[in-house]
Structure 1
Amino acid sequence: MPGSVFHPNASMYFGPPEDPPLSRPGYIFLAVIMAFFTGLATVLNGTVIIVSLMHKQLRQPLNYALVNLAVADLGSALFGGALTVITNAHGYFSLGRTGCVLEGFAVALCGITSLCTVALIAVERMFVVCKPLGPISFDKTHALVGIGFSWLWSLAWNLPPLFGWGRYELEGIGTSCAPDWHNREPSNVSYIMSYFTVCFAVPFAFIVLSYGKLLWTLHKVSKREGVEGGAVAKGETRVAFMVVLMVLTFLVSWLPYASLAMTVVFLPGVPISPLVGTVPVYLAKSSTAYNPIIYIYLNKQFRKYAVPFLLCRPGQLMEDEGSEATTMVESGVSKVSPS
Structure 2
Amino acid sequence: MESLELIGPHFSRLSNGSLVDKVTPDMAHLIHPYWNKFEPVDSFMTKLLGTFLGTMACLSFVGNGLVVYIFSTTKSLRTPANLLILNLAFSDFCMMATNAPMMSINLFFGTWVLGPFMCDMYAMLGSAFGANSIWSMSMIALDRYEVIVKGVNGRPMTIKLAVIKIIMIWTMAMFWTITPMMGWSRYVPEGNLTSCGLDYLEQDWNPKSYLIFYTIFVYLLPLFVICYSYWFIISAVAAHEKAMREQAKKMNVKSLRSSEDNEKSAEGKLAKIALVTISLWFFAWTPYGILNFFGFFGSDVLTPTMTIWGAVFAKAGSSYNPIVYGISHPKYRIALKEKCPCCVCGETEDPNAKASDATSQATNNETPA
Q: Place the TM-score, normalised by the shorter chain, in its bin.
A: 0.7 to 0.9
1:66–1:295 contact (8 Å) kept in structure 2: no
2:25 counterpart residue number? 11
Corresponding position: 1:320 with 2:349: yes
Identical aligned residues as a percent: 21
Q: Name the counterpart of 2:221.
A: 202
Structure 1 residue 258 corresponds to structure 2 residue 258: no
Distance 1:124 1:263, change over 3 A: same
2:156 corresponding residue in structure 1: 137
Which has the bigger relative contact order, CA under 8 A and spacing at least 6?
A: 1
Q: Distance in 1 between matches of 2:343 and 2:50?
A: 32
For 1:309 and 1:181, the matched residues in 2 are separated by 45
Q: Secondary structure at the match of 1:131?
A: helix
Distance 1:301 1:175 in 2: 41
Residue deviations 1:201-240, cap 9 Å, x none? Answer: 0110011110111000111111222258855697688457
Task: Write the letter of the residue equivalent to 1:293.
Answer: I
Letter matched to residue 191 of structure 1: Y
Shift, 1:35, TM fit: 0.3
Whether contact under 8 Å (2:336, 2:343) holds in the other structure is no
Q: Which residue of 2 aligns with 1:122?
A: 141
Is the Cα contact below 8 Å between 2:237 and 2:268 reproduced in 1? no
Given that 1:208 and 1:247 are in contact with CA atoms closer than 8 Å, whether structure 2 keeps it comes out as no
Distance in 2 between residues matched to 1:21 and 1:59, nearest whole Å: 50
Q: Counterparts of 1:175 and 1:112 in 2: how far apart (Å)?
A: 21
The unaligned stretches of length 5 or more in structure 1 are: 324-339
d(CA) in 2 for partners of 1:74 and 1:256?
Answer: 21
**Cα–Cα, structure 1 residues 199 and 300, in superposed 2: closer, same or farther, change >3 Å?**
same
Task: Indicate conservation of the 8 Å contact 1:47/1:309, yes or no.
Answer: no
Instruction: Identify which of 260, 266, 280 aligns with 1:249.
Output: 280
Higher gyration radius (CA): 2
Letter in 2 for 1:258: G
Q: State the Cα deviation string for residues 250-307 of structure 1 (Å, max 9, x = none).
A: 3211112112211221x20333111112222122111110022224652222222234
**Residue 356 of structure 2: aligned partner:** none
Aligned residues: 313
What is the CA-CA distance between 1:12 and the residue it aligns to?
7.5
Could you tell me the TM-score, scaled by structure 1's length? 0.83
Which residue does 2:339 correspond to in 1?
Answer: 309
Q: Distance in 1 between matches of 2:267 and 2:125?
A: 39
Hey, what does 2:304 align to over in structure 1?
274
- Structure 1: which amino acid aligns with 2:223? F
8 A Cα contact 1:183 1:189, kept in partner: yes
Q: TM-score, normalised by structure 2?
A: 0.77
Query: Which 4+ residue blocks in structure 1 deviate beyond 4 angstroms?
Result: 5-10, 17-20, 227-241
Alpha-carbon separation, structure 1, partners of 2:111 and 2:308? 14
Match of 2:138, SS state, is helix
When the two chains are superposed, the root-mean-square deviation of aligned CA atoms in Å is 2.9
User: In 1, Cα distance between the equivalents of 2:26 and 2:193?
Assistant: 8
For residues 133 and 178 of structure 1, the distance between their equivalents in structure 2, rounded to whole angstroms, comes to 44
Q: Would the alpha carbon gap of residues 56 and 144 (structure 1) be closer, same or farther in structure 2, given more than 3 Å must change?
A: same
Which one has a larger percent helix, Structure 1 or Structure 2?
2
Partner of 1:269, secondary structure, is coil
- The whole-number CA distance in structure 1 between the counterparts of 2:64 and 2:191 is 27
The aligned runs of 1:1-339 (5 Å cut-off) are: 11=25, 13=27, 21-131=40-150, 134-226=153-245, 227=248, 230=255, 231=257, 238=269, 241-242=272-273, 244-265=275-296, 267-295=297-325, 298-311=328-341, 319-321=348-350
